[in-house]
């Protein structure tokens, strides 16, 4: 349980060993390479850009295939085990790239066909209103006659238009269709009356339409476009069928994705190195315990290296080391902010509180059993990694505390046992299941205990703060800033327990100590006193913190009452209905309250607990290693 | 009229309280869950894989509705609508009505405020999905006040003893 000591590494190796060395380092996975700086020395260049382009090609292909090929993956897909030789072989990437190129070119072809189809559909839609006209579309006015296609706004009725045009002797009108906005029309007249017609058309707000590249009859055009669309659609389908045959190559692509990711990480590391004509220079951090392994590796390359402890002005990355029980909770802390290298690892202190508070809020024996059961199965069967593993391990532990609190508070699917008993026998269940007490019946007791748990939590936070102050040699600060508060709070506790006199004396002593010491860094007497007074006002902050723990009661009530709503509703519907309502209802209650409990437990750690002592602000140790998403590399035995 | 009120007023007021607790808190939650859903739909259009994360944020402001339901249910149990009938005097009924107000009013407004915080959290998962938990915590900070209101409603309700 602690923050792992780090050592700084400087290394000079031969240029020709560079790739092999980076490869070995990434397999060891214990060195975090930092940006090297040095005047007059060149930065190393790598194929980073090329690798990234290749990886996005593969990502594209995987996305396309994912859309067309149904693959069973499940929530926790099992990773394929791949031998290191296969993983690092260059064919792995080359083969996959070829497949990816093919997939991507087909997918581009499909996209082109699709775009073309939508263009055709638009064209067809523009022709449909003219369907009734049997004049070829390319027809224009000739020597003897005037002819024009066009539209007239729908505010004029067809009758109106006809009446207006009737005044012109040779005028001819055809109106194949109309919609909400306009009438689609073809007008003709003798050449001599062209101008009169033009005037009339202007009063009708006629606007000319010309069919640029379309020739022939409308109906013929529509038929040929439809044929083209069908053909294109068929072609698309046959191309898409090719994809479904390529489903087998998905694992290959996934393998190549991981292989490229490892390459990219190496290339990124390489760009942090400095180079001279014959050598490369590497700077980085590693956990002190790995010294031996690294020395052996560097000796084998005949490289020059120096390993030293971090200097005071340096800020090494943080790696925490905790027992298996505590380690999963580091996820909660890292979400807030990883600890600083010289700070304190809060996980061992936070973990038990997290589990206990989670248990109080969820407090149902049956829910606890289910939670532990499901998360253990996931852990053992699917062996998830990273955050999922931590989450599941936490869930398994919190399930146990949930069970314990459920037993203490008498919750088993809420009040399922009394409800079922009453449903079957018709008599009330005259027995209290709670081993300790039932918060539904004694909410005030529960509220007081919630505050008491909160007080312990906050005291623990302040104790850690005091420890940190003493560790840094500020013993007086610890006594004045924290000791005074403890005396004051101790007094309040005594007073509440009935020892009024002792309590009042302690409160007085604590308050006086705060009043006299909190302004000790101020020079002027007046400021010393006002600062001391102001510090007493902090008590409202503590009060707010303590009140915040009432959520322990509220959320445990929420779980229990919603469960009893479900049971009551079920009992009203008879035995069969009860089973159905029970299954659906409790699944819902577990899902909703699980999220609520998780969020509120985290909040109590972040705001009330961490607020007392924890600063964070560290950088998580992220060594150069072989991080993979889809496959596991089988480690070579050494 | 006066006679009607003295004989039925207790039940009426208690029911009005239950209606407000479940109704207002539920309305607030519905509004909030809806608005987070709109924001979430935008993100999921871009990346369907973020559905799960977006859903987590969407359910957060839904709890006020549940708290309202919880109080309404306890009122129904208390006035004997779900079991053996109890006499509820006008005074008792009015007290029950008052006990329902905290979760009804605070539930409504806190749900909407929480919905806005959660909707903003959706943009966190659009850009930095690994920071989802921070968005969840921001939304949960708002819920504190719904929890406090629930607590007071519950304690008030619990403190009212029917003869």
CATH code of the domain in which A181 resides: 3.30.70.2750
Half-sphere exposure of A24 (CA within 13 A, CB side): 15
Task: Check pLDDT > 90 for residue A387.
Answer: no
Which contacts (CB < 8 Å, 24+ apart) does range A416-422 have? A416/A366, A416/A563, A416/A567, A416/A582, A419/A564, A419/A567, A419/A568, A419/A570, A419/A571, A420/A567, A420/A571, A420/A578, A422/A571
Q: Is A448 on the interface with B (CB under 8 A)?
A: no
CA separation for the pair A262, B119 (Å, rounded): 36
Q: Is A450 on the interface with B (CB under 8 A)?
A: no
CA separation for the pair A370, A590 (Å, rounded): 10
Contact A617, A337 (CB under 8 A): yes
**pTM for the full predicted model:** 0.78
- The confidence score (pLDDT) of residue A280 equals 87
How distant is the Cα of A630 from the closest Cα of chain B, in angstroms?
Answer: 16
Same domain for A331 and A224, yes or no, is no
* C-alpha distances in Å from residue A492, one per residue of A502, A515, A537: 9, 17, 16
Same domain for A171 and A257, yes or no, is no
Instruction: Name the domain boundary from A246, A271, A296.
Output: A271
A299 within domain boundaries: no
A373 within domain boundaries: yes
Same domain for A257 and A350, yes or no, is no
Nearest to A548 among B56, B82, B144 (CB): B144
Same domain for A180 and A94, yes or no, is no
How distant is the Cα of B46 from the closest Cα of chain A, in angstroms?
Answer: 13
How distant is the Cα of B130 from the closest Cα of chain A, in angstroms?
Answer: 9
* C-alpha distances in Å from residue A84, one per residue of A26, A95, A253: 13, 17, 16
Q: Which of B25, B33, B56, B66 to mutate to test the interface with A (most CBs of A within 10 A)?
A: B66
For residue B150, the SS3 value is helix
CA separation for the pair A259, A248 (Å, rounded): 18
Show me where the domains of chain B are located: 2-159
Same domain for A349 and A451, yes or no, is yes
Of A496, A451, A495, A457, the closest CA to residue A614 belongs to: A457
Instruction: Name the domain boundary from A271, A286, A306.
Output: A271
CA separation for the pair A349, A610 (Å, rounded): 10
Contact A584, A307 (CB under 8 A): no
Find all residues with CB under 8 Å of B162, minimum gap 6, and list them.
B78, B79, B86, B87, B88, B89, B92
End-to-end CA distance of chain A: 29
The better pLDDT of the pair A98, A525 is held by A98
Task: Check pLDDT > 70 for residue A637.
Answer: no
Percentage above 90 pLDDT, chain A:
22
- The confidence score (pLDDT) of residue A74 equals 62
What secondary structure does DSSP assign to A527-592, as a single string?
A: HHHHHHHHHHTTHHHHHHHHHHTHHHHHHHHHHHHHHHHHHHHHHHTHHHHHHHHHHHHHHHHHHH
Q: What is the mean pLDDT of chain A?
A: 86
- The confidence score (pLDDT) of residue B132 equals 82
Of A338, A309, A311, A307, the closest CA to residue A322 belongs to: A338
- The confidence score (pLDDT) of residue A476 equals 84
Question: Chain B contacts of A560, Cβ < 8 Å?
Answer: none
The better pLDDT of the pair A490, B100 is held by B100
Question: Chain B contacts of A66, Cβ < 8 Å?
Answer: none
Same domain for A346 and A417, yes or no, is yes
A454 within domain boundaries: yes
CA separation for the pair A32, A625 (Å, rounded): 9
Instruction: Name the domain boundary from A271, A288, A303.
Output: A271
Task: Check pLDDT > 60 for residue A467.
Answer: yes
Extract the tokens encoding B44. 């999921």
CA separation for the pair B109, A319 (Å, rounded): 43
User: Which class is domain B2-159?
Assistant: mainly alpha
Binning pLDDT at 50, 70 and 90, where does residue A636 land? low
Are B82 and A562 an interchain contact pair (Cβ–Cβ within 8 Å)?
no
Name residue, tokens 């009737």: A166
A3, β-bridge pairs? A320
pLDDT in tens, B26-50: 999 999 999 999 999 989 888 888 8
What is the total count of domains within chain A?
3
Question: Chain B contacts of A415, Cβ < 8 Å?
Answer: none
For residue A302, the SS3 value is coil
- The backbone torsions φ and ψ at residue A421, rounded to the nearest 5 degrees and listed phi first, read -60, -45
Q: By mean pLDDT, which of A306-310, A524-528, B103-107 is the weakest?
A: A524-528
- The confidence score (pLDDT) of residue A351 equals 95
Same domain for A390 and A260, yes or no, is no
The better pLDDT of the pair A359, A239 is held by A359
How distant is the Cα of A553 from the closest Cα of chain B, in angstroms?
Answer: 8
What secondary structure does DSSP assign to B21-40, as a single string?
A: HHHHHHHHHHHHHHHHHHHH
Same domain for A235 and A378, yes or no, is no
- The backbone torsions φ and ψ at residue B89, rounded to the nearest 5 degrees and listed phi first, read -75, 165
A310 within domain boundaries: no
Extract the tokens encoding A57. 């090609």
The interface pTM score, or ipTM, of the predicted complex is 0.81
A296 within domain boundaries: no
User: Residue A152 sits in which domain range?
Assistant: 139-210
- The confidence score (pLDDT) of residue A381 equals 87
Q: Is B160 on the interface with A (CB under 8 A)?
A: no
Extract the tokens encoding A508. 């007085």
Extract the tokens encoding B152. 């007071």
Extract the tokens encoding A379. 């852990």
Name residue, tokens 């009060």: A543
Task: Check pLDDT > 60 for residue A638.
Answer: no
Q: What is the longest distance spanned by two Cα atoms in chain A?
A: 121
Q: Is B154 on the interface with A (CB under 8 A)?
A: yes
Nearest to A443 among B134, B137, B158 (CB): B158
Of B28, B35, B26, the closest CA to residue B109 belongs to: B28
Q: Is B5 on the interface with A (CB under 8 A)?
A: no
Same domain for A370 and A228, yes or no, is no
Q: By mean pLDDT, which of A109-113, A494-498, B105-109 is the weakest?
A: A494-498
Are A335 and B155 an interchain contact pair (Cβ–Cβ within 8 Å)?
no
Same domain for A451 and A382, yes or no, is yes
- Please report the sign of the dihedral spanned by the C-alpha atoms of residue B148, residue B152, residue B155, residue B158: negative
- The confidence score (pLDDT) of residue B98 equals 95
End-to-end CA distance of chain B: 24
Extract the tokens encoding A444. 């005030």
- The confidence score (pLDDT) of residue A90 equals 79
CA separation for the pair A590, B145 (Å, rounded): 22
Contact A294, A9 (CB under 8 A): yes
Contact A68, A241 (CB under 8 A): no
Percentage above 70 pLDDT, chain A:
97
Contact A213, A155 (CB under 8 A): no
Q: By mean pLDDT, which of A37-51, A186-200, A589-603, B106-120 is the weakest?
A: A37-51
Nearest to B140 among A335, A447, A600 (CB): A600
- The confidence score (pLDDT) of residue A253 equals 87
Of A396, A548, A588, the closest CA to residue B59 belongs to: A588
Contact A255, A85 (CB under 8 A): no
Q: By mean pLDDT, which of A69-78, A451-460, A601-610 is the weakest?
A: A69-78
CA separation for the pair A230, A222 (Å, rounded): 12
A406 within domain boundaries: yes
3-state helix, strand and coil shares in percent for chain B, rounded to the nearest 5:
90, 0, 10
Binning pLDDT at 50, 70 and 90, where does residue A127 land? confident
CA separation for the pair B84, B106 (Å, rounded): 31
3-state helix, strand and coil shares in percent for chain A, rounded to the nearest 5:
65, 10, 25
Contact A491, A585 (CB under 8 A): no
Q: Which of B63, B110, B159, B161 to mutate to test the interface with A (most CBs of A within 10 A)?
A: B63
A516 within domain boundaries: no
A404 within domain boundaries: yes
- The confidence score (pLDDT) of residue A71 equals 67
Q: Is A561 on the interface with B (CB under 8 A)?
A: yes
């Amino acid at each position: 349980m602690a923050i792992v000591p780090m050592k700084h590494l400087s290394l000079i190796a031969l240029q020709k060993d560079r790739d092999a060395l980076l490869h070995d380092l990434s397999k060891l996975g214990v060195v975090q390479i930092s940006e090297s700086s040095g005047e007059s020395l060149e930065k190393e260049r790598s194929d980073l850009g090329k690798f990234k382009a290749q990886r996005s090609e593969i990502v594209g292909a995987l996305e396309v295939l994912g859309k067309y090929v149904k693959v069973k993956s499940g929530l926790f897909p099992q990773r394929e085990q791949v031998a290191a030789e296969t993983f690092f072989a260059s064919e792995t990437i080359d083969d996959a790239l070829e497949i990816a190129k093919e997939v991507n070119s087909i997918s581009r072809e499909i996209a082109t066909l699709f775009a073309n189809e939508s263009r055709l559909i638009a064209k067809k839609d523009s022709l449909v209103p003219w369907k009734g006209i049997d004049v070829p579309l390319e027809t224009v006015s000739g020597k003897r006659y005037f002819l024009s296609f066009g539209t007239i706004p729908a505010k004029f009725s067809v009758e109106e238009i006809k009446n207006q045009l009737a005044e012109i002797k040779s005028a001819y009108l055809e109106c194949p269709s109309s919609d909400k906005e306009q009438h689609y029309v073809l007008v003709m007249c003798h050449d001599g009356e062209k101008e009169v017609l033009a005037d009339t058309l202007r009063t009708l707000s006629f606007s000319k339409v010309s069919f640029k590249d379309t020739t022939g009859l409308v109906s013929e055009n529509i038929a040929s476009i439809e044929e083209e669309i069908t053909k294109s659609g068929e072609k698309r389908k046959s191309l898409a069928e090719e994809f479904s045959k390529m489903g087998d190559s998905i694992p290959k692509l996934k393998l190549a994705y991981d292989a490229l990711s490892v390459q990219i990480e190496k290339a990124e590391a390489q760009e942090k190195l400095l180079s001279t004509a014959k050598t490369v220079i590497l700077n980085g951090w590693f956990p002190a315990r790995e010294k031996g392994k690294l020395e052996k590796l560097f000796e084998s390359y005949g490289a020059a290296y120096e390993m030293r402890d971090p200097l005071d002005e340096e800020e090494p990355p943080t790696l925490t080391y905790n027992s298996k029980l505590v380690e999963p909770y580091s996820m909660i802390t890292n979400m807030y902010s990883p600890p600083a290298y010289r700070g304190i690892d809060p996980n061992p202190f936070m973990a038990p509180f997290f589990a206990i508070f989670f248990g109080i809020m969820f407090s149902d024996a049956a829910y606890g059993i289910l939670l532990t059961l499901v998360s253990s199965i996931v852990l053992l069967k699917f062996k998830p990694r990273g955050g999922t593993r931590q989450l599941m391990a936490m869930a398994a532990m919190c399930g146990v505390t949930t069970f314990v609190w459920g037993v203490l508070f008498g919750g088993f699917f809420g009040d399922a046992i009394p409800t079922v008993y009453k449903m079957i026998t018709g008599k009330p269940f005259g027995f209290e299941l709670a081993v300790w007490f039932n918060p539904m019946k004694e909410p005030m007791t529960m509220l007081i205990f919630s505050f008491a748990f909160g007080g312990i939590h906050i005291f623990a936070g302040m104790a850690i703060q005091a420890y940190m102050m003493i560790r840094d040699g500020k013993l007086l600060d610890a006594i004045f800033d924290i000791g005074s508060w403890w005396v004051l709070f101790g007094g309040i506790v005594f007073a509440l327990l009935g020892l009024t006199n002792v309590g009042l004396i302690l409160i007085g002593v604590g308050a006086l100590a705060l009043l006299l010491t909190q302004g000790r860094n101020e020079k002027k007497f007046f400021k010393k006193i006002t600062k001391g007074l102001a510090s007493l006002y902090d008590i409202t902050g503590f009060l707010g913190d303590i009140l915040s723990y009432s959520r322990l009661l509220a959320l445990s009530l929420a779980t229990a009452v919603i469960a009893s709503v479900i049971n009551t509703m079920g009992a009203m519907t008879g035995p069969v209905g009860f089973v159905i309502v029970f299954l659906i209802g409790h699944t819902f209650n577990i899902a909703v309250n699980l999220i609520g409990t998780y969020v509120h437990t985290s909040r109590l750690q972040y705001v009330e607990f961490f607020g007392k002592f924890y600063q964070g602000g560290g950088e998580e140790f992220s060594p150069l290693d072989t991080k993979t998403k889809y496959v596991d590399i089988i480690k070579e035995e050494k | 009229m006066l006679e009607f009120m003295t004989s039925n007023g207790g039940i009426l007021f208690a029911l009005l309280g239950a209606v407000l607790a479940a109704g207002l808190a539920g309305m607030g939650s519905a509004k909030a869950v809806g608005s987070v859903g709109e924001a979430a739909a935008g993100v999921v259009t871009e990346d369907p894989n973020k559905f799960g994360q977006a859903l987590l944020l969407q359910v957060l402001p839904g709890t006020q509705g549940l708290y309202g339901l919880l109080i309404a249910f306890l009122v129904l149990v208390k006035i004997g609508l779900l079991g053996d009938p109890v006499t509820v005097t006008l005074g008792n009924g009015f007290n029950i009505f008052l006990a329902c107000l905290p979760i009804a009013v605070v539930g409504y407004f806190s749900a909407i405020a929480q919905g806005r915080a959660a909707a903003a959290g959706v943009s966190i998962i659009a850009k930095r999905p690994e920071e989802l938990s921070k968005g969840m915590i921001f939304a949960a900070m708002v819920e504190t006040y719904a929890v406090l209101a629930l607590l007071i409603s519950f304690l008030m309700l619990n403190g009212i003893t029917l003869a």
